[in-house]
Amino acid sequence: MSNYYRTSVYGHRGSVIKRGVPNPVVCGRKFCCYCGRWRHVCDFRPNSRNTRSGLTSLCVTCMRIKSRQQRARITAKQKEQRREYQRLWHYMRRREAGVPERNFKNRHTVIDKAEALYLPSGPLAAALAMTGEWETLARRAGVPSRTIFRMRSGEGQYVRLDVADKVATALGWPLEVIYHGVPSIPVAELERREAS
């Protein structure tokens, strides 16, 4: 058996030829091929394929560094392909297990049910007309600037209750002052109006 073996060293491009038994355990310590340090055996993960020591060639810290570098090299397209593959794989496994296909047609979260009230955007648009810096207002309210633009231009007839509250708070007025006596519209009523 040869006393030389090929390994990678941290900071080198490619591999380096070294002399000696690859990755021996000496006095409870093992050599890490990546950082080039002698580490305690508890810093290595078990590896059944490595018959010499039963541990991985890289220490846990170096494995994390290497995995971070590999993740940084993945492009956005590769990430999207990986997500799509995982989605299809889990879908296939569910069908094999006999799990029926999920239907998200009428799915609502607790937040959606609590905030499923709409207000007419007219009174809020009148309040917004008095302010000039609507992009700054959008940042302060934590809503997209497109939402403020739609309210000011009259493009949207209705505004969701939580969005109206955020904008009114950013303006410095309570929502009750802007919408004094204006009733809120439930989602079912709004859908009925849009359908007719």
Identify the three-state secondary structure at position 16: strand
Do residues 8 and 61 share a domain? yes
- Among 68, 92, 124, the domain boundary falls at 68
With pLDDT > 70 as the criterion, what percentage of the chain qualifies?
72
Confidence band, pLDDT 50/70/90 cuts, at residue 80 = very high
Backbone phi, psi, residue 125, to 5°: -65, -35
Tell me which range, 35-39, 144-148, 186-190, is most confidently predicted by mean pLDDT.
35-39
**Structural domains counted in the chain:** 2
C-alpha to C-alpha distance for 87 and 166, rounded to whole angstroms: 36
The mean pLDDT value of the chain amounts to 77
Could you list the residue range(s) of the whole structural domain that residue 43 is in?
A: 4-68
Report, as an integer, the average pLDDT of 156-178: 82
Which of 46, 68, 90 corresponds to the end of one domain? 68
Other residues' Cβ atoms within 10 Å of the Cβ of residue 167: 27
- pTM value surpassing 0.85: no
- 3-state DSSP of 95-154: HHCCCCCCCCCCCCCHHHHHCCEEEECHHHHHHHHCCCCHHHHHHHHCCCHHHHHHHHHC
pLDDT of residue 77 exceeding 90, the answer is: yes
Q: What digits encode the pLDDT tens for the residues 81-134?
A: 999 999 999 999 999 999 888 776 666 555 545 456 788 888 888 888 877 777
Q: Classify residue 73: in a domain, yes or no.
A: no
Hey, how many other C-beta atoms are within 10 angstroms of the C-beta on 117? 17
